[in-house]
Structure 1
Amino acid sequence: MENQEALKSEKIETLLIKYSIPAIIAMMVTSLYNTVDRAFIGSIEGVGALAISGLGVTMPIFTLIVGFGVLIAVGGSTNISIKLGQRNKNEAEKVLGNTFVLVIIISLIIMIVGTLFMDKILYLFGASKHTISYARDYIGIIYIGTPFNLISFSLNNAIRSEGNPKLAAKTMVVGCILNLILDPIFIFVFGLGIKGAAIATVISQIIISIWVFTYFIKGKSILKLHRHNLKLDFKIVKIIIAVGLAPFAMELTTSLIHVLSNTALRVYGGDLAIGAMTAITSIVLLFMMPVFGLSQGMQTIIAYNYGAKQHDRAKKTLILAMIMSVGILTFGFLAIKIFPEFFIGIFTEDEELIKLAIKGININLFALPIVGIAIVGPVYFQSVGKTKKSMFLTLLRQFIILAPLVLILPKIWKLDGVWISQPIADILAVIIVILFLIKEFKNGISL
């Protein structure tokens, strides 16, 4: 119980570093799974540019898969933290068991539906006759690995929520290293191309899922996966989904935005424009993932202290996380602006694609330094169980504001309209999130 006592009494600065750094590593590794794939795929001789465009078509599908994992994993882990904060281990183990069963059910549904309707989904999400084969080769294998992907993701969140963030990060790092080793072997040595990248990713996910599952069965975990807790309790299921709904909505709307963007990019810039956006998104995620990791690290601290009635500590955690997010993304903004060719060159050597991507970067990223506020703010409301506010603020940036902009601005400025939609949405969302937080603390609702 030492970790649980630390959440209640240790310095917030120390706790945030302790919990966020492993979470940041885990999120960076999650991003690197795809980044490594895109980098190797982009270097396939003769087809790299079209292959990375085909991979870009699969991004909204992959985001949607992750979204269902987030729905259960975040909902489950947040409730585990709250139950442990209330010193209710039995209830925490019930939440863990229900989380595991839900992930199995949802992942099997995704795998079956995705496989049966693969081509229809890919064309809907922006594939063309030139990119469909590359997209099919990749996502078909990813579908098969969905259960292992979501098991590893959800149980890693549970490991973090019970107070063992180092192990959660360690498993993810090992998975990424495996993927990094296996990618060139399956892509180039075995000559499997884009299929090889997907196979390498799935093998890595299988190994990690077995590891984290074993931890909760035979490891030194505080919580255990007991057979009697593997029967769904719909009261617990409802609570898990209620808390996880906001981050799920964020992933869902992100997927929708990918679809809308891919459609506009194909119309106004062709398949190469989709490839350029894929490269830009991959670069931005390298710096955004630390902020997502930071929000996960703060989530455990806020949820526990809120459950323990220590609301001042919850508020201080939020403020510190916001400051850190601005620092991280300001660094990222400067690095990308100063060395754009270096970052784009990770994913392609095609000169036309590089030129297009650099133009996109110059327009698309000008609001990057403040975006973290729009990410961290809603997580606070989610962590204290205020799901309606969290849901609205999460939907605000990626759906309520951004979706109309993606539909309208390209009709005015064509391809530039696609690039500029995101930063405009980011600025407006940050302003509204700040206003919500000011009202929350001014009214003393959470204090």
Structure 2
Amino acid sequence: MKQKMQSERLGTEPIPKLLKSLSIPAMIGMFVMALYNVVDTIFISYGVGIDAVAGVTVAFPIMMIMMAVSAAMGIGGASVISRRLGERKEEEANHVFGNIISVILIISVLGIISSFTILEPILRLFGATPEILGYAFDYMFPILLGTFFFSFAFATNNIVRSEGNARFAMMTMIIPAVINIILDPIFIFGLNMGVRGAAIATVISQASVTLIILHYFLTGKSTLQLRLVDLKLKLTILKEVIAVGLPAFAQQAAGSVMMIAINTMLIRFGGDMHVGIFGIIQRIIMFTVMPMMGVMQGMQPIVGYNYGARNFERLRETVILGLKVTVFLSFLIFALVMAVPHWLMMIFTSDPEVIQAGSEYLRIMFSAVFLIGGQVIGSGLYQALGKPKQALILSLSRQLIFLIPLVLILPHFIGVYGVFLAFPISDFFACVLASILMYRDRDIFFKKGKNTTEETIPVSSGT
């Protein structure tokens, strides 16, 4: 009954109040997720230096690949499990859960093997110079040893959400963040472990929350049961999970490719310092984009519910309000970065040269940030409406179609500035693409009035 009332409010509660109540928890969750890398970067920058930040930045694509696989299993598995539970097929849901755990165990073994065999060659391939290779290796080695903790926590967070236990899912993000913040200064400064200390602190924080999640599943607090018999891999289950999780994997993997391209061009046309500066700016991007992503996530269930209920007036009101809020936030971010970029850089470093150069590059990268709101809302809308093709196009267009080619081309004409200038140009093109797609499907997004059940829901081409 409680779940029924919870879903019914999506069709009855005033849109502004509803969007606020759903967006703020999403923002908090994303804030906590972004906190890891930000805290690590601050302590590493002040405790070791900008070269160490560059080393971590070069190593980061490896983590992104690891998280891409975990995201695919977690998001895909959560979707399949929630549908099985809705069909009252608890045994099949447990089989799916067991298969996800098996894949995580396989990934973990590969991660450990990689740390002892191919880590250094991969880091060199990803652009690590002799000056920053040691920092990159020191950071990534403990992370790969702890692959199981990262993959398990990341994947099961989505599965816990699929059961409807949003509060526990949020706690599994908050707890490791707090532990990481406490341990970082102890290992980096107190024990003088430098970059490796930051990595070990992160692994311990993830190991801690892994134990909490295991306790949750093993003590009957979950609808699901973790049983040995369910660990046997079944091809039909894996196919279904991977099919649903593939867009999430593609987006994460594209981000990894983007990072490799950027780091390579920064080292070629600039130097290690430029990689470190980009690493800092990337953390700033995480926090500035986070509010808009929170609005998008809060908007999605409202859009999906009212689209299914054929209540197009509420859908239209939600889309317009979401666009207004994200556009306002994007202009606010633009004003902040243009006015005080040096203040943002000073959070991460006290090096005058890094602050001066970083402020200039920060302004360049954020010069078209006010265009991001439409992209974010457009991608979220198509996901909520069950149109994966358009959602995938919008999610990947900025990175794969526009940003990576520009990053690889522009530096040949204007040097290192080309890498940073590629961002606002790609924002412009991605905004144009989002506008074209949304205008084409405007009959869905902006239909006026509450429709009757006899009306036909318009279906765009390409779905």
Aligned pairs for 1:307-346 (under 5 A) are: 312=312, 320-346=321-347
- Quick one: structure 1 residues 438 and 175, their matched pair in 2 at CA, closer, same or farther if it must change by over 3 Å? same
> Does structure 2 conserve the Cα–Cα contact (< 8 Å) formed by 1:82 and 1:303?
no
Aligned pairs for 1:25-424 (under 5 A) are: 25-44=28-47, 47-82=48-83, 92-218=93-219, 220-298=221-299, 312=312, 320-424=321-425
> Does structure 1 conserve the Cα–Cα contact (< 8 Å) formed by 2:107 and 2:147?
no
Encode CA deviations 1:309-347: one digit per residue, 9 max, x unaligned: 668577766655444433443333333333222211122
> Does structure 2 conserve the Cα–Cα contact (< 8 Å) formed by 1:302 and 1:380?
yes
Partner in structure 1 of residue 7 of structure 2: 7
Q: Distance in 2 between matches of 1:294 and 1:222?
A: 29
* Cα distance, 1:88 vs structure 2: 6.1
Greater shift after overlay, 132-141 or 223-232? Answer: 223-232
Partner in structure 2 of residue 445 of structure 1: 459
> Does structure 2 conserve the Cα–Cα contact (< 8 Å) formed by 1:268 and 1:414?
yes
Q: Distance in 2 between matches of 1:20 and 1:168?
A: 16
> Does structure 2 conserve the Cα–Cα contact (< 8 Å) formed by 1:23 and 1:297?
yes
> Does structure 1 conserve the Cα–Cα contact (< 8 Å) formed by 2:114 and 2:144?
no
> Does structure 2 conserve the Cα–Cα contact (< 8 Å) formed by 1:63 and 1:252?
yes
* Paired letter, 1:261: I
SS in 2 for 1:99: helix
Greater shift after overlay, 163-172 or 289-298? Answer: 289-298
Give the superposed CA RMSD.
2.9
* Paired letter, 1:125: F
> Does structure 1 conserve the Cα–Cα contact (< 8 Å) formed by 2:104 and 2:148?
yes
* Cα distance, 1:424 vs structure 2: 1.1
Greater shift after overlay, 396-405 or 9-18? Answer: 9-18
> Does structure 1 conserve the Cα–Cα contact (< 8 Å) formed by 2:27 and 2:291?
yes
> Does structure 1 conserve the Cα–Cα contact (< 8 Å) formed by 2:261 and 2:408?
yes
* Paired letter, 1:210: L
- Quick one: structure 1 residues 310 and 217, their matched pair in 2 at CA, closer, same or farther if it must change by over 3 Å? farther
> Does structure 2 conserve the Cα–Cα contact (< 8 Å) formed by 1:84 and 1:304?
no
* Paired letter, 2:6: A
- Quick one: structure 1 residues 98 and 289, their matched pair in 2 at CA, closer, same or farther if it must change by over 3 Å? farther
- Quick one: structure 1 residues 13 and 163, their matched pair in 2 at CA, closer, same or farther if it must change by over 3 Å? farther
Encode CA deviations 1:92-135: one digit per residue, 9 max, x unaligned: 55544443333333343234335421111111112101100011
- Quick one: structure 1 residues 31 and 417, their matched pair in 2 at CA, closer, same or farther if it must change by over 3 Å? same
* Paired letter, 1:432: L
Structure 1 unaligned residues grouped into runs of 5+: none
Q: Distance in 1 between matches of 2:311 and 2:70?
A: 29
> Does structure 2 conserve the Cα–Cα contact (< 8 Å) formed by 1:81 and 1:304?
no
* TM-score, length basis structure 2: 0.86
* Paired letter, 2:341: P
Partner in structure 1 of residue 453 of structure 2: none
- Quick one: structure 1 residues 182 and 360, their matched pair in 2 at CA, closer, same or farther if it must change by over 3 Å? same
> Does structure 1 conserve the Cα–Cα contact (< 8 Å) formed by 2:337 and 2:363?
no
SS in 1 for 2:196: helix
Greater shift after overlay, 219-228 or 239-248? Answer: 219-228
Encode CA deviations 1:366-392: one digit per residue, 9 max, x unaligned: 222332432443344345543333332
SS in 2 for 1:131: helix
> Does structure 1 conserve the Cα–Cα contact (< 8 Å) formed by 2:341 and 2:363?
no
Q: Distance in 1 between matches of 2:387 and 2:374?
A: 18
- Quick one: structure 1 residues 384 and 97, their matched pair in 2 at CA, closer, same or farther if it must change by over 3 Å? farther
- Quick one: structure 1 residues 176 and 380, their matched pair in 2 at CA, closer, same or farther if it must change by over 3 Å? same
* Cα distance, 1:432 vs structure 2: 1.2
Structure 2 unaligned residues grouped into runs of 5+: 445-457
> Does structure 2 conserve the Cα–Cα contact (< 8 Å) formed by 1:378 and 1:390?
yes
Q: Distance in 2 between matches of 1:315 and 1:215?
A: 40
- Quick one: structure 1 residues 319 and 89, their matched pair in 2 at CA, closer, same or farther if it must change by over 3 Å? farther
* Paired letter, 2:107: I
* Cα distance, 1:160 vs structure 2: 2.2
* Paired letter, 1:201: T
* Cα distance, 1:222 vs structure 2: 4.2
> Does structure 2 conserve the Cα–Cα contact (< 8 Å) formed by 1:246 and 1:382?
no
* Paired letter, 2:43: F
* Cα distance, 1:83 vs structure 2: 5.2
Encode CA deviations 1:274-322: one digit per residue, 9 max, x unaligned: 111111111111122344444445556666777x766857776665544
> Does structure 2 conserve the Cα–Cα contact (< 8 Å) formed by 1:4 and 1:84?
no
SS in 1 for 2:348: coil
% identical equivalent positions = 38
* Number of equivalenced pairs: 444
- Quick one: structure 1 residues 5 and 240, their matched pair in 2 at CA, closer, same or farther if it must change by over 3 Å? farther
Partner in structure 1 of residue 25 of structure 2: 22
Encode CA deviations 1:385-422: one digit per residue, 9 max, x unaligned: 43333332222110011111111111111111111101
* Cα distance, 1:150 vs structure 2: 1.6
Q: Distance in 1 between matches of 2:31 and 2:86?
A: 28
Q: Distance in 1 between matches of 2:303 and 2:223?
A: 20
Partner in structure 1 of residue 449 of structure 2: none
* Paired letter, 2:65: L
- Quick one: structure 1 residues 103 and 288, their matched pair in 2 at CA, closer, same or farther if it must change by over 3 Å? farther
Greater shift after overlay, 11-20 or 137-146? Answer: 11-20
Greater shift after overlay, 355-364 or 90-99? Answer: 90-99
Q: Distance in 1 between matches of 2:104 and 2:303?
A: 25
* Paired letter, 2:75: V
* Cα distance, 1:21 vs structure 2: 2.8
